[in-house]
Amino acid sequence: MPKKIPSLHIDLERTWRGGQRQVLFLVRELRAVGHQAFLVSRPGTPIAERFEELRMPVSTMRVFGELDLLAARRIAKIAREQGIRILHAHSSHAHTLALLAARDVPGGRVVVHRRVDFKPGEDALNRWKYRAVDGYVAISKAVRDVLIQSGIDAGKILVVHSAVEYRPPADDARERVRAELGLESTDKLLLNVGALVDHKGHQFLIEAMPTVLARFADLTCAVAGDGELRKELEQQINGLGLGDRVKLLGFRDDVPDLLAAADLYVSTSHLEGLNTSLLDASLAGLPVVATRAGGQVEAVSDGSSGLLAQNRDPADIADKIVTILSDEKLAARLAGGGREFAAEFSPQSMARQVAQFYWSLVD
C-alpha cells in the first residue's frame, strides 16, 4: 500500500461553488483512509465553516493578493509544523502562494488542481508559476490538453475527474418546488444550475427556448444561480417575449430539491472544465442535454446518459431538448444509464488517484 503523504490544501475563494465542494470531498476522503490532510483558507469563508462543522482541521488567515509574502511564510510555517510534503493549491492565488511557501518547506512539492479549460495568461508571473509546479491534477482531458498547449510537460499532468455523491431531496420536494414555480403536475420543467457568467452560456439556452416552447407550450425553464449577467439575461428573456417561461431563480441552496422537480437538465456552457452539475443531475435520475464544450463531453455519455449538442448552437440545443421530451422511453433509458455512468465519479476514487499521484512526486 502506498505510504501516507501529508498534504496541505489551500483554497482562498470567498464563495461556495463546485471547486470548494471538490476540496471538501478530497480532504474528507484522504483523511478517511488515514492520510493527514489540512486546509488553509480565509476567515469566514463557506469552505472554512463547513470544515469546522465536520471537525476537519482548517487554518484561516487574511491574504492580500497572490504575492502576499507574509501569508506565504505563515503557510510554510503550518506546513513545517505538520510535516507536510504536498502543498496542494485549489485556486489561482493559492497556486502562487503555494510556490512561495514551498521554498521554506523541506522536501515540499506543489500540486495544482486545474478546473478550467482556458489558457493561462502569458505574462511573466504566469509563465513562472505554471512552469514551477511539480504536478497538475486536471479534472478532464480537455483541461489537460489546454495545459499541454500552454507549454506544460504532459508528464506532470494527471487527469482525475471531479467527484459527485447523491444528495437526497426532501420528501415533498417535487410537489413543493413545482408549486413554488406555479406549475401543474403535468407541466414540463427544464433545469439549469450555474453562475450567471459568460462561459456558462445561458444566452444560448434562452435563445433556444422559443423553438422548444413552440412544441411544448406547458414547459418552463428554471435557472438556479446568480451573477454579473443577470440584467443582460433578463433583457434577453423579455426581448424574446418569453415572459415567465424562463425563470431566473437566483442562488439556491436546495439543488437536490430542484433536481427532484425537473424533467430534464440542460447545460449550454461554451467553456467548461468538466461540469459536475451534469453528473449530479444524472445521479438524481434526470436525462441531460449538454453542449460539446470542454470536459462536458466527459461528463455525458452521449446516447447513454444524455445527448450532446453542438457548442454555441441554439438550434441544435433546441433539437436535442425536443428529442428527449418527445420520447418518454428515450428519456427513461437515458435517466437509467445516467445513474450508472455518474456512479463511477465517486469521491473515494478521486481521493485514491490523487493519493497515488502524491506518492509519485515525493522522494
Tens-digit pLDDT profile for residues 298-324: 999 999 999 999 999 999 999 999 999
**Contact predicate 99/79, CB 8 Å:** no
Tens-digit pLDDT profile for residues 199-216: 999 999 999 999 999 999
How far apart, in whole angstroms, are the C-alpha atoms of residue 293 and residue 311?
6
Rounded percentage of the chain residues whose pLDDT exceeds 70 = 99
How far apart, in whole angstroms, are the C-alpha atoms of residue 241 and residue 168?
36
Taking the mean position of all CA atoms in its chain, how far away is CA 168?
19
Q: What is the pLDDT of residue 282?
A: 98
Where residue 363 falls among pLDDT bands split at 50, 70, 90? low
Whether residue 98 is predicted with pLDDT greater than 70 in this model: the reply is yes
Q: What is the pLDDT of residue 2?
A: 55
Q: What is the pLDDT of residue 118?
A: 86
319 in helix, strand or coil?
A: helix
How far apart, in whole angstroms, are the C-alpha atoms of residue 47 and residue 155?
31
Rounded percentage of the chain residues whose pLDDT exceeds 90 = 96
Tens-digit pLDDT profile for residues 239-266: 999 999 999 999 999 999 999 999 999 9
Q: Burial, 31: exposed, middle or buried (Cβ in 10 Å; 0-12, 13-18, 19+)?
A: middle
Read off the pTM: 0.92
Give the mean pLDDT of the chain.
Answer: 96
Where residue 275 falls among pLDDT bands split at 50, 70, 90? very high
How far apart, in whole angstroms, are the C-alpha atoms of residue 258 and residue 175?
10
Q: What is the pLDDT of residue 359?
A: 95
Q: What is the pLDDT of residue 1?
A: 42
Q: What is the pLDDT of residue 3?
A: 75
Tens-digit pLDDT profile for residues 86-95: 999 999 999 9
Tens-digit pLDDT profile for residues 155-205: 999 999 999 999 999 999 999 999 999 999 999 999 999 999 999 999 999
How far apart, in whole angstroms, are the C-alpha atoms of residue 243 and residue 241?
6
How far apart, in whole angstroms, are the C-alpha atoms of residue 231 and residue 233?
5
Tens-digit pLDDT profile for residues 277-297: 999 999 999 999 999 999 999
- Which parts of the chain fold into alpha helices (H)? 18-32, 46-53, 69-81, 92-102, 124-131, 141-149, 173-180, 202-215, 230-239, 255-261, 276-283, 296-299, 314-325, 328-342, 347-361
- 202-215 vs 314-325: helix crossing angle, rounded to 10: 50
Whether residue 235 is predicted with pLDDT greater than 70 in this model: the reply is yes
